Structure 1
Amino acid sequence: MGKHKKKRKSPWSIFFRPIKAILFVFLGIMVLGCLAGGVVFLKYQNEIMACKEKADSIMSKTVKTDFSQPTDTRIYDSAGGLIGTINSGHYEYVPISGISKNLQNAYIAQEDRRFYKHHGIDYKGLMRAGVVYIKNKGAITQGGSTITQQVIKNTYLTQEKTFQRKLTEFFAAPRMEEKYSKSDILEFYCNTNFFANRCYGVSEASRYYFDKEAKDLTVWEAATLAGISNNPSKYDPVAHPETSKKKRDQVIDNMALCKFITEEEKDNAKAQPLTVAKIYEPGTKENYLTSYAIHCAAMELMKNDGFAFQYVFHNQASYDSYKEQYQELYQAKSDMIRNGGFEIHTSLETNIQNTLQGTIDERLKGFKDLQENGKFALQGAAVCIDNQTGYVVAIVGGRGTDDEYNRGFLSRRQPGSTIKPLIDYAPAFETGYYYPSRLVNDHLFDKGPKNSGGSYYGNVSVREALNRSLNTVAWQVLGDIGVNTGIGYLGKMHFAGLSYLDNGNSSMSIGGFTEGARVVDMAKGYSVLANKGMYSNNTCIVSLQSQYDGEIYNGNQADERIFTEDTAYMITDVLKGTLEKPYGTGYGLGLGIPAAGKTGTTNSNKDTWFCGYTKHYTTAVWVGYDTPKAMPGVYGKTYSGRIWHDFMAEINNGLPVQDWDMPATVSLWNVDSRGEKTDAATGNKDLFSSVAESAARSDGSKWKEEEERKKLESQVQKDLEASQQARQSVEQAAASLQSLIGELAALSHRDSSTEEKISTAYGLLDQLAGTEFYEGLKSQLDGAADHASSLPKQEDSAGKPQEIGPGVTKPRETTAPVFPGDFDPDEDVDSGIGPGGPDSTVEAVGPGME
């Protein structure tokens, strides 16, 4: 059997055999991969498509501002001076030109060496991560993410290592590379990383750790930051300096490996000790100015959202519903501002603020009792408004500057009589049926308010009633025009302390609020009177800048007409009397320039106020305890009034002296004893508004009622005058008769005139018939007449005076008997006029007491 000869293998076949094997294995793997991929796709099709849709949605909406954190909110005064910083991490976005090339290289060497070569996805790194994923049975323990993917994760996704998150990054990364340049993406990365110790972004990290700008980082400093952001809790150089240094050195080695630095630079960088500066700039503590600015800014953001502010409520349901909506949105906006990203430019004037704070502290320095929390027990708050602009220029929320609780806009207290011009008298003047000279009967009512001091003045003008702060008159006025009408005017002036329980509450006329009034609202209300009846929507915000949206404040909000110019002028003219009239409750607080104001003191002196204004400024001042309690001897005039006086005198000093111009529709008229207009020259004049009168005439039925009232009062007045004239005639007759009785009783002889005197006396007696004088004087006259008739008759000539010398006569000496019933000729008849009579009043309400 012959042997078969083996076929000789060619060199090429030997060479290609392993290649064929590799190709077959590769194709097998590809087939298996495709099959596996198909199976995976079919199994997870919904999840995959959801991740793609999410990635598409993210990238379709992305803008550059997404890749920055909010900066600190900064607040500035009217002169541009920084008055407060709300710390949100002191974040500052830095462009790539302001970031050290060392840090850029450190990140590329450590995180993504193929950064400039791939298009968002590093497939080699992804395969490596895939192998690890399989080894760990589905648990993602390793990255493989490019810098582009990490930017997407840091900005739009969570930090969880899940398949869905990685897949979303996978779909989004190429889209981002199409939209932004490599330089942009690296800039985003440096500005979105967290570097521990509240350091967001490379700018704050550079300042905190090395006290320098990001553009000045050295190799070892850049490597340190790159290491920290890889795992902030693990590589924090403050908490873990050793592990941080090891990570730093690893980054430096990678930088050398990638040829970003030389071996010599590597060794030099690793030789540097890891030292950190820990430069931390805390935010400023909120003060009265910044807290109010944040409040007003939040309100402006609410306006931008179209929130409908409401001040008057018809029932509890509307009240509760509104409060819930308001509080939720207000808190969200307030938090947004405190979280950073805003510049707030205000109208607040630091010099005026310091003057107001100093005045309050000085006037109240004698009250040293403290609360349990260490704050002064007796507190004060005040708000000042520039009448030319309507902006708040100063707001003091308490004594000293360490108290963060701003009573100027947070606290609500009973306003007492300071509310009267705003809720009672100005609305009443608007009707046309009330005016400064109108008389209202001041008397004690059953279940009505009492006047402070217990004095009542009968018919008194509105002008005097407001100056004296008579509670019963204010109560009648509001009751006449309608409580809800008055409350409606407060709502127009944006009073934030109104409750549905105040509806129909007549005690509102004298400041009896359910919740109370804020100091800032009282100041805004009085500024309406100072500004011709116009309410300014300005608060303290002059400009509100958003880091992302630019200017977001609408500074062109129109003023609102609350009262007519006539009403504002007349109320102002009346309120001048509070400071100028001896019986005014603020007498002695005048500034020597045109000014108007009103005191306010609540029951037991628990809250004391003074609100007043000049042409230039309006200021409202409150003094009281945080937990209301009686303050004997403290009144609206005393501490609140003196604070107002001292402060206003200071800030008005040197300004032009200006008075309010009387509108053409307001005129001075003579007024009669009823306070009504008259053509007669009575010597007593007061203000009347033709605009208000026209408004009154427009309501035909009301006008007719008012005319009937005037006619009735006129007739009553005529009857009273006639009665007074009759009374005066009786008193004159009684006085004349008393004189004749005295003459008859004093006679020592009778002559031809005696009978005439007796006849005249009895004629006067007839005039007194039916009066209280008749019986007493008749008895006296009968006695005197009998006495005179029984005297011896003497010729008239014998009765001539005896001459003593040229031009000098000697009077006759007579003695007159005293008759029973005679009274002392020096004693006045009790006419009811004089001490103790109805026109006699004792001013029990002293200046400052109401």
Structure 2
Amino acid sequence: MNFEKKATKKKQEAINSAPKKRNKKVGVTLIKVFAFSILLAGIIGIATGLGIVKAIIDSAPPLDLEDVNPEGYATFIYDQEGKEIQKLHGDEANRIYAQLDQIPQHLQDAVVALEDERFWNHNGIDIQGIFRAIFKNIKSGDLTASGASTLTQQIIKNNVLSPEKKFERKIQEQYLAIQLEKEIDKKKILELYLNTSAFGRGTYGVQAAANTYFNKDVSDLTIAESATIASITQRPNFYDPLLNPENNKEKQKIVLNKMLEQEYINQAEYDEALVEDVYAHIQIINQDIVQSDYSYFVDEVIRAVLEDLKEQKGYNEGEAFNLIYRGGLSIYMTQDLGMQSIVDEVYTNEEYFPPASEMYAVRVMYTMSVQHADGTTKHHYDETEFPTKEKADAHLEALEAEWVQAGDEILAEKVLYIPQPQSAMVIMDYHNGHVKAISGGRGEKIGNQTFNRATQAKRQPGSAFKILAAYLPAIDTMGYTLATVIDDVPFTVTTGGVPYSPKNWYNHQAFNYRGLTSVRTSIKDSMNINAVKTLYDIGAQTGFDYLLNLGFTSLVDTEVVNGKTYTDKNLALALGGITHGVSPLELTAAYGAIANNGVYIEPVFYTKVLNHKGAILLEKEPISRTVMKETTSFLLTSAMQSVITGGTGTMANFKSMPIAGKTGTTQDDVDLILTAYTPYYVATVWMGYDQPKSMNYSHSYHSVIWRDVMKRIHEDLPYKDFPRPSGIVSASVCSESGKLAVPGLCDQDPRGSTIVTEYFAAGTVPTESCDVHIKAIVCEESGLFATEYCPEHTKIEKIFIQRPQPLIPANWNPNSPPRIADHQYELPESMVGEYCNIHGPAFEVPVVDLPDQSNFNPLKYPEDND
């Protein structure tokens, strides 16, 4: 055997394998270094995280058991001057404390099953629930969607902590929850939760909820009723079993399913609870909560703070409600008490509203809960409108006789008289968005958080939209000026096979069309066809987009209901014909943007909210955006001053201050609106029936309300004009053409001079001269253009108008031709191209030179005696 060769081969293999071994060693070393680095980073990260968590825990407030008792802290509301206006307190809410042994086991179980299914096993925080919430949030893409708060955490959240920093608050909340469970037992924690939670309608605690909704002691609740009450806490308004029984019913099913799954009830109990119609015997009237403690303004402030706590601080509705009424907050409103008192004084004065002899009516809402002799409960409701209160009372007596039989007991009843027509008003400082005063309606306000017509009523804006949807975008971006001329003549456009022919509000007057009219005059006289033509020219989409930018939230892009498609992107938009309507508050803010040099500021009702320790909880910084050019806002203001001084809004003019505004009247006079502003404030007044119907409009009641309120508000304010921006110039133009006026032509119009001085944005002054007016020499005898043959004494000079787009009489209805005001001044069609047919060469007596006839004796004929 050749051992030498074998040895040589081994040496070669050893030499060749040496780098591989070295590489393997280096690779192992790198892996170790990388692993160590990860471990070190992890240790550092954990240490850092623990340090952060420890710092957060160390900054947590000390746990004081007094903080978790159901008394809470009083919340105070202040006006703009810092004067206390209202006190909110848990004690003022409907609360009756109940010991845990007074609360039925199935109600306790319903709450635990829904809110905290591992309540009896965790130490204050639910680890399993936390991981489930994290997974759910990651899956949904919303890291704040679910928080896995236990009942103990909710007590801490509602009573101890402020929600200023969500992550820190969550850590502190979990820490304090663990501490609380060390201090008191589970049963006490559950008792506290059941007595401090909000159940809507001003009720706190399950005993008050049982009284409010079922008129019974909490101990007498059935399983179905308990599930109904437990369903309310997460969103008290949304799951209100009176206002939204369908929502509550869906939630009740979820609660019952959880109770069955967690074996708190058996199948038979589940089936029985599911078929029990709790909504048929809900106590729908509670005399303790029908009296109104708060004004419409305070209601709106509470609503605004509630929404901001939810949106900005992550509170659910129940938690936010609880904090407002029990959290010891200090809420600073934007309300001006002096202005509010003026508004209230006017709205309680019946002289500002139609008398019984005109269109007065009263709408009566009558509710009654009757317990019959067999123990069943029947709820009755009637809503009817009457011309007088006496007739309403007679109707109520008849209803009571019908509803209540011998042996029946009236559990509760309520009569609400609502005068008609109704009205609402909003006053806002458009420089900062601060709402200064509102009226949500006339008549007695019964109940808190009741319907507020100033902020919640969605009504058709009518002609008030002509400015916002048509003329504003046309002037701002589409090249229109106040001098632009629109021809008010019959107009039809077909969309989707459906013809649309708008009519003017003066359709039944001597002239139902006014012909060539400037944008300024179209605004001043609120001309329908010209507004629609303008929107048609610029496009409905453009008008729609401007309205969205002006803060209107209820406009419909595309909506399908029962197979029918609705959209507000159509020409009716120019006349306020929209699907859902808008609120007076939205109109006020939109017109405030015009007043505020083109800057829209979202209206606000409060400036800041402090927690019970005086730290800022919420600070309301108005949201603003530029929605039009500064020059556009000035031009529209100028045009709308014409509305007040000589147009449809003259009844609102109090003359001691410049006013610009726009009236709005919907079809058949169902809604009457005036939105107008001064150099200080913008205000809107709406008037109409709650159940829309014609008011047979004959008086400007809404305009008089606006005038008298605003006149008093401005009495002590110094006079000032609307500011004129640097980009505004003026020029003399012809109002019939919108072009430069021609002296000797435009000033000779048979109706009077049409030369006007108009404002323009720099760069938009017309460069062409008037081409509407024409001068013609007419033969008075023939009525046609004069020729060189017409005697001078028959020649007269006339001024006619000639439309850029000729009228087409062939398209008119021969049975009802349009009555166009300026048609009589137009060059007659019979004259076009026609010259005098009386005077001319064919009719001239020839001149002949005759010989001297002095010696000529003519023949004499016999005289004609006939």
User: 1:526 touches 1:612 (CA, 8 Å); kept in 2?
Assistant: yes
Sort the Cα spacing of 1:296 and 1:691 in 2 relative to 1 into closer, same or farther, 3 A: farther
1:75 counterpart SS class: strand
Say whether residues 1:369 and 2:415 are aligned partners: no
Q: Displacement of 1:657 after TM fit?
A: 0.4
Say whether residues 1:381 and 2:424 are aligned partners: yes
1:297 counterpart SS class: helix
The match for 2:90 is 88
The match for 1:567 is 632
User: 2:597 touches 2:629 (CA, 8 Å); kept in 1?
Assistant: yes
Q: Distance in 1 between matches of 2:760 and 2:526?
A: 21
The match for 2:465 is 419
Larger strand share, 1 or 2: 2
* Aligned residue among 296, 301, 313 for 1:293: 301
User: 2:481 touches 2:764 (CA, 8 Å); kept in 1?
Assistant: no
User: 1:72 touches 1:90 (CA, 8 Å); kept in 2?
Assistant: no
Say whether residues 1:71 and 2:73 are aligned partners: yes
User: 2:428 touches 2:603 (CA, 8 Å); kept in 1?
Assistant: no
The match for 2:654 is 591
Q: Displacement of 1:541 after TM fit?
A: 0.6
Say whether residues 1:342 and 2:329 are aligned partners: yes
Say whether residues 1:467 and 2:524 are aligned partners: yes
Q: Displacement of 1:347 after TM fit?
A: 1.1
Counterpart of 1:349, as a letter, is: D
Counterpart of 2:502, as a letter, is: P
2:546 counterpart SS class: helix
1:392 counterpart SS class: strand
Say whether residues 1:450 and 2:503 are aligned partners: yes
Q: TM-score, normalised by structure 2?
A: 0.51
- Give a deviation string over 1:800-832, Cα, whole Å, max 9, x none: xxxxxxxxxxxxxxxxxxxxxxxxxxxxxxxxx
> Unmatched 5+ residue regions in structure 2?
1-55, 94-150, 158-174, 199-217, 220-287, 366-416, 493-499, 558-565, 747-754, 796-830, 855-866
- Give a deviation string over 1:697-722, Cα, whole Å, max 9, x none: xxxxxxxxxx9xx98xx7xx64x545
State the identity %.
25
Sort the Cα spacing of 1:692 and 1:397 in 2 relative to 1 into closer, same or farther, 3 A: farther
User: 2:790 touches 2:840 (CA, 8 Å); kept in 1?
Assistant: no
User: 2:485 touches 2:735 (CA, 8 Å); kept in 1?
Assistant: no
* Aligned residue among 523, 542, 547 for 1:490: 547
Sort the Cα spacing of 1:175 and 1:537 in 2 relative to 1 into closer, same or farther, 3 A: closer
User: 1:566 touches 1:691 (CA, 8 Å); kept in 2?
Assistant: no
Equivalence map 1:706-725=2 (5 Å): 718=771, 721-722=773-774, 724=776
1:351 counterpart SS class: helix
Q: Distance in 1 between matches of 2:319 and 2:197?
A: 22
Q: Displacement of 1:631 after TM fit?
A: 0.8
The match for 1:754 is none
The match for 2:239 is none
User: 1:59 touches 1:176 (CA, 8 Å); kept in 2?
Assistant: no
Q: Displacement of 1:543 after TM fit?
A: 1.5
1:71 counterpart SS class: coil
Sort the Cα spacing of 1:741 and 1:365 in 2 relative to 1 into closer, same or farther, 3 A: closer
Equivalence map 1:595-674=2 (5 Å): 595-634=659-698, 638-672=700-734
The match for 1:275 is none
Say whether residues 1:478 and 2:549 are aligned partners: no
Sort the Cα spacing of 1:648 and 1:90 in 2 relative to 1 into closer, same or farther, 3 A: closer
User: 1:605 touches 1:634 (CA, 8 Å); kept in 2?
Assistant: no
Sort the Cα spacing of 1:365 and 1:152 in 2 relative to 1 into closer, same or farther, 3 A: same
Equivalence map 1:771-850=2 (5 Å): 771=834, 774=837
Say whether residues 1:505 and 2:570 are aligned partners: yes
Q: Displacement of 1:89 after TM fit?
A: 2.5
Aligned length: 509
Sort the Cα spacing of 1:548 and 1:487 in 2 relative to 1 into closer, same or farther, 3 A: farther
> Unmatched 5+ residue regions in structure 1?
1-56, 92-150, 158-171, 200-231, 234-279, 307-327, 694-706, 743-767, 796-850
Q: Distance in 2 between matches of 1:297 and 1:731?
A: 76
Q: Distance in 1 between matches of 2:289 and 2:418?
A: 27
Q: Distance in 2 between matches of 1:453 and 1:493?
A: 30
Q: Displacement of 1:639 after TM fit?
A: 1.1
User: 2:78 touches 2:331 (CA, 8 Å); kept in 1?
Assistant: yes
Q: TM-score, normalised by structure 1?
A: 0.52
Q: Displacement of 1:673 after TM fit?
A: 5.6
Sort the Cα spacing of 1:623 and 1:794 in 2 relative to 1 into closer, same or farther, 3 A: farther
User: 2:778 touches 2:785 (CA, 8 Å); kept in 1?
Assistant: no
- Give a deviation string over 1:635-657, Cα, whole Å, max 9, x none: 6xx11111111111111112110
Q: Displacement of 1:608 after TM fit?
A: 0.4
Q: Displacement of 1:735 after TM fit?
A: 13
Q: Displacement of 1:684 after TM fit?
A: 2.5
Q: Displacement of 1:376 after TM fit?
A: 0.8
- Give a deviation string over 1:86-121, Cα, whole Å, max 9, x none: 442259xxxxxxxxxxxxxxxxxxxxxxxxxxxxxx
CA RMSD of aligned residues (A): 5.0
User: 1:468 touches 1:578 (CA, 8 Å); kept in 2?
Assistant: yes
The match for 1:391 is 434
Larger helix share, 1 or 2: 1
Say whether residues 1:688 and 2:688 are aligned partners: no
User: 1:621 touches 1:644 (CA, 8 Å); kept in 2?
Assistant: yes
Q: Distance in 2 between matches of 1:769 and 1:73?
A: 81
User: 2:729 touches 2:761 (CA, 8 Å); kept in 1?
Assistant: yes
Sort the Cα spacing of 1:502 and 1:794 in 2 relative to 1 into closer, same or farther, 3 A: farther
Q: Distance in 2 between matches of 1:305 and 1:153?
A: 16
Counterpart of 1:686, as a letter, is: E
The match for 2:390 is none
